[in-house]
Structure 1
Amino acid sequence: MPSNFLFATWAGGGAVPPVLSVARALAERGHGVRVLADESVHGEIVAAGLKPIAWTTAPQGDPSDPAKDVIRDFEARTPLGAAARLRDRIVCGPAADYARDTLAELHAQPTDVLVCEHMLLGAATAGEAAGIPVASLATTVYPFATPGAPPPGLGLAPAEGPVGRLRDRLLARMTTMPWAKGLPALQAARTGNGLAPIGSVPEAFEHVDRVLVLSPRAFDHAGRQFPDHIRHVGARLEDPAWAGELTLPEGDAPLVVVGLSSSYMKQQDLLQRIADALGSLPVRGLLTTGPAVDPASVRAPANVLVTASAPHTLALRHAALTVTHAGHGTTVKSLAAGVPMVCVPLGRDQIEVAGHVRLAGAGVTVGKGSSAQAIAAAVRKVLDDPAYRTAAQRMADAIAAETAEDRAVAELEALAARGPATA
């Protein structure tokens, strides 16, 4: 029997395509699906065959345009400063506005399940207040501490021995402390909608019926433990609607696909250094700048094709290597194709994702300030050592098994069938 799903998401760059992938899959099975989102992503929503609804009081942004970006984390001087902007401008600060808009839409049309992008605690608050099942979609490696793994965000290897476990306890406290400044605004959103206060912001992320992690379980630490309501449902591998058609550079040299953030992260200079690095090597380069950077701003060597976009899923079928900022979307698409990586994290969750690539043996990491020569050396290292491709192929096999069925859709349909009773 068809159900009605309301999705709530925001212009979060790489977080948008996997959320819309799940929404589209539900619509294709005959369910009613509508999507609350920033107007800047309404084109993608329509292209997915879905109904867009605009936020009215919650913030609206466009991360591909620095002037319209809500978070503007590219202005932050430290990783903590960047995280504070996400906290204050999306997760906690406008939580009451997100809750107000979401509740208005829940009252406007029947809804069986509310599905929120993981960072939208305000929207999840509305679902809790309305008494309907709520699922959140985590579009990267699960971003909070759980037993059996180091605190996320730093790209650390699992701890060994008493000293390592002490490290994890101390770092877990340090990584959760900055959330405390967001608690008053989130608390006001909750109490203003008749909900009980909570003890911390991280606790609020657990006030949902399901957290569906859109990341391969095999990509996370093997010994990591999760409570039952957190479930890995596999990566979403579709390309965004704006990816366009595939044109490959001429020749038969090994293909290196380059993709940095789809949102603005001051990546122009790094793109140029990567282009220069590939220009010094016997490879073909397909360098995609994304919507935030003009392809004409990158001086292309003769062996490098620079374009605004390309369908990475298709391009990676031909690739020997990916050079990436270690955004989760590009990373899992590369792994699903068995393609090893050179990771150049720019910020956000990318240091953590790059750490998992390294621990899997599927690539190396270089700093975002690395010279063209250092990037070229990293490319040579990965191309010359077949162990990296072997490790990437092992991950590809695991991803193929995990995505053989659509677990995200199955979980959401089960929530809808269960009805408003709490778990």
Structure 2
Amino acid sequence: MDDGESPRTTAGSEGSPTPRTYLFTLTDAGGTVPPELGVVRRLVERGHRVTVVADESIADQVRRSGAAHLPATPNPAPELRDWELKSPLSVARATSEYLMTGPAPGQAADTIAAIDAIRPDLVVASSLALGAMIGAEACGVPFDILIPNAYPLPAKGMPPFGAGMSPARGPLGRTRDRLARAASTGLIDRYALAKTNALRAEHGLEPFAHTWDQLGRARRQLVLTSSAFDFPAELPANARYVGPILDDPVWAADETWTPPPGDGRLVVVAMSSTFQDHVDCMQRITDAVGSLPVHGLVTTGPAVEPGAIRAPANVAVVASAPHRLVLPRADLVVTHGGHGTVIKTLAAGVPLVVLHHGRDQADNAVRVTARGAGIAVRRTAPASRIAMAITDVLGDPSYRQSAQRLGEAITRDAESGALVEELERV
């Protein structure tokens, strides 16, 4: 079926797709799990047969999505402790070992075995699951990749990933980006290219010039965010913005929440779902909220026990609360800048204060500040500086107005159906 055709429909069932078989190979990378399983859930709800190869750590979440689960080969690479990494070299090496080349042989074997067992129409992989892509390619099965954040790969016009930079302006800016793209590609190639090509050779595939070429082989690069949130750039022909997944994670979706009494403004603190050595930062944020005439709600997530945070009288500290209930009542969200929290906050029309820690969080922060929807503060800032930022955002209605404008576009993209349409067009 070519790109111009619509998905097939079952006779006598207007708009219902012919059931297809999908194989997902997903990695447990913390905040990427809820949106990726949101994709799975949408296909299951459309009546498709979905099997997910995934780590045992998320097996229960997979089953709750309605899909069948197949256990993934355990990752032999050392645990990724990215908060300890202090240089681009160390980040590139650890990222390669833990997320890319370390699990790749197991992913390839798991994917090939699952393809033999269920004969999928399409393989869908996490964006760095190189082994799943190689396995699908070796079997001649098309594959898509899921990118649950702003577009991270080298692309003309896109600032370099992880640097928290605004788009380039003028010849010097374009030179900056060109050099940065070459440098970041070279760093990843230094640690991942030889191993990637060795695995490709093992499965009868030709070598690549660059590691990122493997992602270029995807039928679709499905970017799970809004183009209104991301910066404009010249993306490859197979890349598609298909809107964000706004679902709550399984560990928070079933919680109940009661708003605090009174008419005070509500400040929500939502930090990383995985450990980023952020307890001290969370405490300073809590102290800042406690010093202001507001209500505070701090959600620690599964990585931190609520008891690790000392709570002032006007602040409640809980393990989790469903964003779908909390965010519409919030006046401000303070966060580490993870894509899931940022995009859901904006979809609710709520401004942010971002204390970015690492990964893609500086990139998300600059997209917020560039649109006037919030303020970025250093993660090491004292409570007084954080309180000042909260006061500034609450005191200036333009931040909320900008968040609402951006949120309207994000919500439209989330509800557009483009994601399922692309997946069913196979």
Query: TM-score scaled to structure 2, two decimals?
Result: 0.92
Check if 1:266 corresponds to 2:277.
yes
Check if 1:340 corresponds to 2:340.
no
Q: In the alignment, what sits opposite 1:237?
A: 246
Asked if 1 retains the 8 angstrom alpha-carbon contact of 2:75 and 2:98, the reply is: no
Check if 1:178 corresponds to 2:187.
yes
Q: In the alignment, what sits opposite 1:208?
A: 218
Cα pair distance change 1:392/1:80, threshold 3 Å? farther
Q: Which deviations, in whole Å up to 9, do the C-alpha atoms of 1:102-148 show, x marking residues without a partner?
A: 11111122211100011111111111111111000001001012122
Give 1:79 shift: 5.2
Asked if 2 retains the 8 angstrom alpha-carbon contact of 1:248 and 1:286, the reply is: no
Of residues 169-178 and 333-342 in structure 1, the stretch that sits farther from structure 2 once superposed is 169-178
Asked if 2 retains the 8 angstrom alpha-carbon contact of 1:145 and 1:172, the reply is: yes
Instruction: Report matched runs for 1:72-87 at 5 Å.
Output: 72-78=81-87, 80-87=89-96
Number of aligned residue pairs: give it.
Answer: 406
Instruction: Report matched runs for 1:6-405 at 5 Å.
Output: 6-59=23-76, 70-78=79-87, 80-180=89-189, 181-222=191-232, 224-243=233-252, 244-405=255-416
Q: Quote the Cα distance in structure 2 between the aligned partners of 1:396 and 1:306.
A: 27
Q: In the alignment, what sits opposite 1:419?
A: none
SS in 2 for 1:174: helix
Q: Quote the Cα distance in structure 2 between the aligned partners of 1:369 and 1:396.
A: 29
Give 1:403 shift: 2.3
Aligned-pair identity in percent equals 44
2:407 counterpart letter in structure 1: A
SS in 2 for 1:14: coil
Query: TM-score scaled to structure 1, two decimals?
Result: 0.93
Asked if 2 retains the 8 angstrom alpha-carbon contact of 1:95 and 1:120, the reply is: yes
Cα pair distance change 1:216/1:14, threshold 3 Å? same
Give 1:150 shift: 2.2
1:99 counterpart letter in structure 2: A
Q: Which deviations, in whole Å up to 9, do the C-alpha atoms of 1:19-46 show, x marking residues without a partner?
A: 1001110001110011111101112112
Q: Quote the Cα distance in structure 2 between the aligned partners of 1:390 and 1:407.
A: 27
Q: In the alignment, what sits opposite 2:6?
A: none
Give 1:59 shift: 4.7
Of residues 302-311 and 95-104 in structure 1, the stretch that sits farther from structure 2 once superposed is 95-104
Give 1:80 shift: 4.4
Asked if 2 retains the 8 angstrom alpha-carbon contact of 1:211 and 1:231, the reply is: yes
Q: Quote the Cα distance in structure 1 between the aligned partners of 2:198 and 2:108.
A: 11
Q: List gaps (5 residues or longer) in structure 2.
A: 1-17
Asked if 2 retains the 8 angstrom alpha-carbon contact of 1:93 and 1:182, the reply is: no
Asked if 2 retains the 8 angstrom alpha-carbon contact of 1:128 and 1:208, the reply is: no
Asked if 2 retains the 8 angstrom alpha-carbon contact of 1:57 and 1:101, the reply is: no
Asked if 2 retains the 8 angstrom alpha-carbon contact of 1:93 and 1:185, the reply is: no
Asked if 2 retains the 8 angstrom alpha-carbon contact of 1:363 and 1:388, the reply is: yes
SS in 2 for 1:149: coil
Of residues 260-269 and 244-253 in structure 1, the stretch that sits farther from structure 2 once superposed is 244-253
1:37 counterpart letter in structure 2: A
Asked if 2 retains the 8 angstrom alpha-carbon contact of 1:96 and 1:188, the reply is: no
Asked if 2 retains the 8 angstrom alpha-carbon contact of 1:141 and 1:353, the reply is: yes
Of residues 400-409 and 226-235 in structure 1, the stretch that sits farther from structure 2 once superposed is 400-409
Give 1:276 shift: 0.2
Asked if 1 retains the 8 angstrom alpha-carbon contact of 2:246 and 2:414, the reply is: no
Q: Quote the Cα distance in structure 2 between the aligned partners of 1:304 and 1:227.
A: 46
Give 1:304 shift: 0.7
1:338 counterpart letter in structure 2: G
SS in 1 for 2:181: helix
Q: Quote the Cα distance in structure 2 between the aligned partners of 1:250 and 1:95.
A: 51
Give 1:406 shift: 1.9
Of residues 18-27 and 248-257 in structure 1, the stretch that sits farther from structure 2 once superposed is 248-257
